[in-house]
Structure 1
Amino acid sequence: MSLTVDIQFKRSSKIYHQGPISLINQSVEVTKSGKIPPGQTEIPFELPLSPRSSSKTLYETYHGLYVIVQYSLRCDIKRSLLAKDVSKLQEFIVEYRPSNGETDEKKAVKFEIRPETLQNVRDRARIPQFLVRGHLDSAVFPLSKPLTGELTVCECERGISSIELQLVRVETCGSAEGHTKEASEIQNIQIGEGDVCRGMAIPVYMVFPRLFTCATTIAPNFKIEFELSIVIIFDNDHLVVETFPIKLTRN
């Protein structure tokens, strides 16, 4: 039985792939050679999840676009000379236990979106006068609970086609060539369809996907961080985006 834990890095801006960094790679013999009787045979085993001294810590399972943290077990059955060996590879999920110690203070994050607050706008002439106010219930969210808040379209001189929430991962990879920071969308949820009523509070609610998120991680060779984007699409197909950094925890 072999236990392997790898962190893989991939970079999109160049044809580049950094080989996996192995946190654990160990093998153990779970039973001596002999015959397995017909029927179902169970062979109990255990392997410690202890990182190498150079790693000092283990990280949660995470399936990103440029950073992948993967835990897997491989079972090899050596058979007689004339029979083919049998192998099976199985990934398993690792998560931190929720912390019972200090928790991050839950403080609402208020926001106001209007043309003057937007950054990196190319064609301001297509942006109508509008005002959107709201809040996120916190900037720190436990992964076991949804992201919540609300927003209100106070005024808008054009019609609105859609209001959407985008969960974005920001992955930073390090190598001898330097660091690369890449942002990519994890999921998109529509919270308002059509020309929503003015002055009506719209709930903000998003459940975090299991494998594509993890606790915000700052490691020597990589970072995994997250952002929430509020996207407003007008009836002329022009859109505006307001982005908020958020922290995910296991608290």
Structure 2
Amino acid sequence: MKVLVPVKRVVDYNVKIRVRPDGTGVELSNVKMSMNPFDEISVEEALRLKEGGNATEVVVVSIGPAKAEETLRTALAMGADRAILVETDDHVEPLAVAKILKGVADAEKPGLVIVGKQAIDDDSNQTGQMLAALLNVAQATFASAIEVSEGRALVTREIDGGLQTIEIKLPAVVTSDLRLNEPRYASLPNIMKAKKKPLDRKSPDDFGVSTAPRLKVLKTEEPSGRKAGVKVESVAELVEKLKTEAGVL
């Protein structure tokens, strides 16, 4: 079984985000970029499936600028077998991403697509669901555990009431949650080897997909600062403050 894993290049999660002075978006100049954390978890899960004998090949794909090659090489250094770069300088929205991934999936015929549940730059949480609909296959979202056997997958999901385990038929799309696994670090020898591996380069036109944005960002603002909390001596004092100061009761 082949596993397809989309990965996205985003601002590193350790970086403090700064809004551009003109409010047109987030400052990306001279900012450390890395693989989206949820996608890193997806790559790790695909590699574990391969190591467990449930997958034969792990293919990673990224949609973005030429610099996204760095993100793909990180996945190759982790242990992925092949990488595909769909190169575009446009800001690609989730629907366009899903359409491009459908084209890649139609060509690669994966038994399983593992998608990060969301990207930390836009937090859309849409691509996996849209891709499953376009491919007309089963989906399981927010996975915290995956077991694959005999053309089916058992996926455990965290819900309000605890844990829910569902069975889906492959091929399918699964979106990964934080507690699915702990991604490995790429070793230095593997990093050096990954630099020499060839990439399969494509463009959105190869899949007949337009990346022109459907949404227009009017303004970007930093969130307002939070006020410090206060301690109260009793429930009665808490209720009084909620009534008189917060105005929520």
Is this a same-fold pair by TM over 0.5?
Answer: no
Given the two structures, how large is their TM-score scaled by the length of structure 1? 0.21
Q: Comparing both structures, which one devotes a greater share of its residues to strand?
A: 1
Instruction: Identify which of structures 1 and 2 has the higher relative contact order when contacts are C-alpha pairs closer than 8 Å and 6+ apart.
Output: 2
Q: Comparing both structures, which one devotes a greater share of its residues to helix?
A: 2
Given the two structures, how large is their TM-score scaled by the length of structure 2? 0.21
